[in-house]
């Protein structure tokens, strides 16, 4: 009974910390969170214009901040920067990294961020180079690892049913598999391209130039990159100065507001993946 009550109090405590603080509660100088969009997961959505012909229906100058591949030794600096501006983000965690640093997973949750899954191993050849059963097993192992690290135990339905494919390399079969699991797949609308070596200043300028052109969108960063951790405080201040507003996405009742791609849309990632993987079978 004592163990059961301890788990209950832990869950209540995490839920209290996870309540998003909107911009008005953070002081006039903080960027904050302007609003929250609930993602219901029931429609098997795949979002992000770099990969899919639909995205979240964001308003002009609204952004969603997402981070991949952590947690890592650079994650605390990212969390510190977000906390100073009362900003909430979504972290797509590699399962083995979550196992190695469960304290950071719990810190993300306690700070009000969402933690989604990014597979267990982030395979070098992406999930497309694996058999369907092996890919599904890596997905499930990753989900379970994040749940154990963040909440103490794996459950049939993850607390945050968000998933991002490594290298954006999805397949029709795996998209159907995740839809049946009521998981929402996140691509991105804009990239920080922080997988390339650059200075923090160059990365900030690149993100802002892309954002000034697109005017809104889901942005992809990596909290494993030191350049991202170093440039994030300045980027958040610049977002505030330029009139951008941060939207947090969380699991919740729908319908999820979705916007279709403009006429003539083409996937950016499809050509990149095809060039990288050659003619490997898409299962």
How much is the pLDDT for 22?
53
How much is the pLDDT for 271?
84
Phi, psi of 179, deg, nearest 5 = -60, -40
Q: Which residues of 23-57 are buried (b: 16+ CB within 10 A; e: fewer)?
A: beebeeebbbbbeebebebeebbbbbbbbbebbbe
Q: Which two tokens stand for residue 219?
A: 């942005």
Picking from 44-53, 170-179, 249-258, 270-279, which range would have the lowest pLDDT averaged per residue? Answer: 270-279
Per-residue pLDDT reduced to its tens digit, 61-98: 999 999 999 999 999 999 999 999 999 999 999 999 99
CA distance linking residue 11 with residue 106, whole number of Å: 11
Note if the bond before 255 is cis, omega within 30 degrees: yes
CA distance linking residue 191 with residue 218, whole number of Å: 9
113 in catalytic set? no
User: What is the pLDDT confidence band of residue 279, given thresholds at 50, 70 and 90?
Assistant: very low
Residues linked to residue 217 through DSSP beta bridges, in sequence order: 63
Residue 105: closest CA among 119, 118, 91: 91
Q: Which two tokens stand for residue 243?
A: 């009139």
Contact 42, 257 (CB under 8 A): no
How much is the pLDDT for 7?
37
Q: Percent helix, strand and coil across the chain, each rounded to 5?
A: 45, 20, 40
* pTM score: 0.89
Q: Match 């990014």 to its residue by tokens.
A: 118
HSE-up (13 A, CA, CB side) for residue 222: 19
How do strand 35-39 and strand 217-222 relate by DSSP bridges? unpaired
Query: Of the residues 68, 138, 170, 194, which is catalytic?
Result: 68
3-state secondary structure of 227: helix
Instruction: Report the CATH fold assignment for 54-277.
Output: TIM Barrel (3.20.20)
The contacts of residue 275 (CB under 8 Å, 6+ apart) are none
Q: Has residue 23 got a pLDDT over 60?
A: no
How much is the pLDDT for 12?
36
Residue 67: closest CA among 82, 52, 53: 82
How much is the pLDDT for 27?
80
Query: Of the residues 113, 118, 159, 222, which is catalytic?
Result: 222
Q: Has residue 99 got a pLDDT over 70?
A: yes
68 in catalytic set? yes
Q: Match 């952590």 to its residue by tokens.
A: 70
CA distance linking residue 222 with residue 232, whole number of Å: 11
Contact 174, 135 (CB under 8 A): yes
């Amino acid at each position: 009974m004592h163990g059961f009550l301890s788990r209950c109090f832990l869950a209540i405590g995490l839920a209290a910390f996870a309540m998003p603080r909107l911009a008005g509660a953070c002081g006039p100088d903080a960027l904050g969170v302007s609003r929250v969009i609930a993602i219901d997961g029931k429609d098997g959505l795949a979002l992000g214009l770099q990969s899919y012909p639909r995205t979240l229906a964001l308003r002009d100058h609204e952004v969603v901040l997402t981070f991949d591949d952590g947690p890592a030794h650079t994650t605390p600096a990212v969390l510190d920067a977000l906390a100073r501006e009362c900003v909430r983000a979504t972290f797509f965690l590699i399962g083995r990294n979550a196992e190695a640093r469960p304290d950071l997973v719990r810190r993300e949750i306690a700070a009000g961020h969402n933690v989604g899954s990014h597979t267990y191993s982030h395979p070098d050849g992406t999930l497309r180079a694996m058999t369907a059963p092996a890919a599904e097993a890596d997905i499930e192992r990753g989900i379970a690892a994040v749940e154990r690290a963040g909440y103490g135990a794996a459950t049939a339905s993850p607390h945050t049913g968000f998933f991002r494919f490594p290298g954006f390399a999805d397949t029709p079969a795996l998209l159907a598999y995740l839809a049946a699991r009521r998981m929402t797949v996140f691509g991105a609308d804009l990239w920080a391209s922080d997988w390339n070596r650059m200075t923090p200043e160059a990365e900030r300028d690149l993100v802002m130039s892309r954002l000034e052109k697109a005017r809104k969108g889901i942005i992809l960063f990596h909290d494993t990159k030191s350049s991202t951790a170093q440039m994030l405080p300045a980027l958040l201040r610049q977002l505030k100065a330029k009139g951008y507003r941060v939207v947090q996405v969380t699991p919740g009742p729908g319908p999820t507001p979705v916007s279709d791609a403009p006429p003539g849309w083409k996937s950016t990632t499809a050509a990149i993946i095809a060039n990288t993987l050659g003619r490997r079978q898409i299962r």
